Amino acid sequence: MSAHVDRNKIPRSYREYLALMKDMGELVEIDDEVDWNLEMGAIFRHAAETLAPMPVFNVVKDAAPGFRAADWGMGKSSHPGQPWRRLAVMMGLPPETPLMDIQAAYIEAKENGQAHPPRILDASEAPCKQNKWTGDQIDLNKIPAPLAHDGDGGRYLQTAGLNILQTPDGRWTNWSTNRAVIIDAQTMTGQWWPKQHNGMIWGMWREQKRDMPWACALGVSPVASTQAASRIPAWVDEYDMASALLDEPLDMVKCETSDILVPADAEIIIEGVVEYGTTEPEGPFGEYPGYLPDETTPFPRQKVTCVTFRDNPVLPMSIPGVPIDNCHVTMGFFISSDSVVALKKAGLPVIDGMYLFEAAILWFVIRVPTDWHERTGWTLDEFMNRLGNTFWTQHVGDTVTKILVVGEDIDPSDVQQVVWAFASRNHPTFTTYFFPELQAFGDGIESYHVARELAENRGTSLVVYACLENADRVGRPEKRVMSFEKNYPAPVKQKVLDNWERWGFTS
């Protein structure tokens, strides 16, 4: 591995990250007033789909003075040779770092760093407490939340923040991004799926017939953002992972209306309770597979008790749609990193893996070493069955239904290579494995589900496609690959390269 996280270079707050993006030419500030009603969404989508810089909306219609909104970052860049620079620099890595090297460096830093107990600040020292709305002052409609897509069920305020919750016994604090929409000035609702940790913890409070204290931190520091989509096991705090990544304590501060600790440098903190026994219709919201689901689901009311915010706060946003946007990168990158760690911990011979962004993170591409057979003594059938049974029985395996296993020569983040391997190395019958007895959380937001599945609210079929060249003939020589790199003797290649420019080729 060639890249290592430089902790000194990690931006310390969302604001510092935005300033760095501005310096790097990755950000455009719009000073004209823009409308939250579809206009912000259209600008965001056009920017994502053309690989333009990240938009920052300095003036949004109906927002309280000073409130801004921005792309929360980490999307793909059009900068030549540096597509993942917005992600790389967030972790103190050089902007040209290739995606799989960013993954290796991120995993290494998280595994080697130490979690430090939080430094708990007094409210007077915490930037997120510079301003405060309580009681009748609370008006969520004055925060520049977008009606993001035509067809969304409302203005989604929480698309890129951290929901922070504690179990009733206080032993586990979970951070995760789960969307939420404004119902009225002081009420929201959002997704509280029982299989997600936020829904799991809410279930514990509901069993006790109690309202659950809840906080949402919007515009958090890069190390905290890395944990927004993390899929570490239950009863493990995402705070510890963020702190390990930095190998430092994080500055935290207590909420005004509960004992929940929130990142002190967050742009906006929404405090409240998730009520026992009430519901509101949630959805639809345009989603990351690239479609608008057509259903609403009853989810609990989130009653807001206090809002605190920095001066001139910036609301971070993720407005998902067709790939590649910041939702694919953030969700795909961080969940794939956790998936690789989980598979390795289970003893599977895995090098790395990526939820392919171009495939709307619906393909988990896993790279395995050429000598997997010698290492394990397993047949291909054994290996693939173990893989599926390990992955889809863990929390980490709940968001994806298709796995592609590729060999050492394929970069799992390179769509061209992955598509070639899938097309030429997967046998549609003999090296394709189904897992009818297992279920993923799959909530039907992809476009391929048949009506019966949706009606039964079942997970979808799970499949592993082995795309290994030596799949059914372990021990036999591999087919030779007909490429410049692999097929020609070194002196011939060298001669070609040495004369390339002189002959008039430019790249």
Ligand X SMILES: Cc1cc2nc3c(=O)[nH]c(=O)nc-3n(C[C@H](O)[C@H](O)[C@H](O)COP(=O)(O)O)c2cc1C
69 binds ligand X (CB under 6 A): no
178 binds ligand X (CB under 6 A): yes
Residue from 172, 193, 378, 422 binding ligand X (CB under 6 A): 193
Closer residue to ligand X (CB): 173 or 417: 173
357 burial type by CB count under 10 A (0-12 exposed, 13-18 middle, 19+ buried): buried
177 binds ligand X (CB under 6 A): yes
Closest CA to 165 of 224, 229, 235, 242: 235
Closest CA to 67 of 219, 185, 180, 175: 219
Closer residue to ligand X (CB): 230 or 302: 230
242 binds Mn ion (CB under 5 A): no
196 binds, among ligand X, Mn ion, none (CB under 5 to 8 A by kind): ligand X
431 binds, among Mn ion, ligand X, none (CB under 5 to 8 A by kind): none
Closer residue to Mn ion (CB): 197 or 206: 197
Residue from 166, 174, 302, 339 binding ligand X (CB under 6 A): 174
331 binds ligand X (CB under 6 A): yes
78 burial type by CB count under 10 A (0-12 exposed, 13-18 middle, 19+ buried): exposed
* CA atoms of 336 and 329, how far apart (whole Å): 10
Residue from 45, 85, 129, 197 binding Mn ion (CB under 5 A): 197
Q: Which helix (H) or strand (E) holds 41?
A: helix 39-49
Task: List, in sequence order, every beta strand (DSSP E) within 51-149.
Answer: 54-60, 68-71, 119-120, 131-134
231 binds ligand X (CB under 6 A): yes
Active-site residue (options: 29, 287, 456, 478): 287
Q: In the annotation, is 287 catalytic? A: yes
187 binds ligand X (CB under 6 A): no
> Quick check: helix, strand or coil at residue 423?
helix
* Inter-residue contact 177 to 229 (CB < 8 Å): yes
* Inter-residue contact 195 to 441 (CB < 8 Å): yes
**Which of these ranges, 63-71, 140-148, 192-200, 376-384, lies near ligand X under the rule CB under 6 A?**
192-200
Q: How far apart are the first and last CA of the chain?
A: 26
Output the smallest distance, CB 200 to Mn ion, in A.
9
**Which of these ranges, 10-18, 114-122, 126-134, 193-201, lies near ligand X under the rule CB under 6 A?**
193-201
The DSSP secondary structure of 355-389, one letter per residue, reads: E-GGGTT-EEEEE--TTHHHHH---HHHHHHHHHH
* Inter-residue contact 153 to 282 (CB < 8 Å): yes
Closer residue to ligand X (CB): 214 or 383: 214
Output the smallest distance, CB 398 to Mn ion, in A.
12
Can you say whether the dihedral through the CA atoms of 288, 290, 293, 296 is positive or negative? Answer: positive
330 binds, among Mn ion, ligand X, none (CB under 5 to 8 A by kind): ligand X
> Quick check: helix, strand or coil at residue 207?
helix
Residue from 104, 229, 307, 403 binding ligand X (CB under 6 A): 229
174 binds Mn ion (CB under 5 A): yes
Residue from 85, 155, 197, 301 binding ligand X (CB under 6 A): 197
Q: Nearest to Mn ion by Cβ — which residue?
A: 197
Residue from 399, 413, 426, 460 binding ligand X (CB under 6 A): 399
Closer residue to ligand X (CB): 169 or 485: 169
Output the smallest distance, CB 177 to Mn ion, in A.
11
* CA atoms of 427 and 468, how far apart (whole Å): 9
100 binds ligand X (CB under 6 A): no
* CA atoms of 284 and 392, how far apart (whole Å): 27
User: Helix count (H) and strand count (E) of the chain?
Assistant: 14, 23
Residue from 179, 254, 310, 373 binding ligand X (CB under 6 A): 179
Residue from 228, 241, 406, 464 binding ligand X (CB under 6 A): 228
Q: How far is CA 17 from the centre of its chain?
A: 17
> Quick check: helix, strand or coil at residue 448?
coil
Output the smallest distance, CB 411 to ligand X, in A.
23
The neighbour count for residue 16, using CB atoms within 10 Å, is 14
160 binds, among ligand X, Mn ion, none (CB under 5 to 8 A by kind): ligand X
* CA atoms of 99 and 84, how far apart (whole Å): 7
Strand 251-254 with 119-120, pairing: parallel
Output the smallest distance, CB 205 to Mn ion, in A.
16
Output the smallest distance, CB 220 to ligand X, in A.
12
229 binds, among ligand X, Mn ion, none (CB under 5 to 8 A by kind): ligand X
Window 284-323: contact mask with ligand X (x via CB under 6 A):
----------------------------------x-----
Q: How many residues make up the chain in this entry?
A: 507
Q: Which residues in this chain contact Mn ion in the complex, by CB under 5 A? A: 174, 197
Active site members = 287
Q: Which residues in this chain contact ligand X in the complex, by CB under 6 A? A: 159-160, 174, 176-179, 191, 193, 196-198, 228-231, 318, 327, 330-331, 399
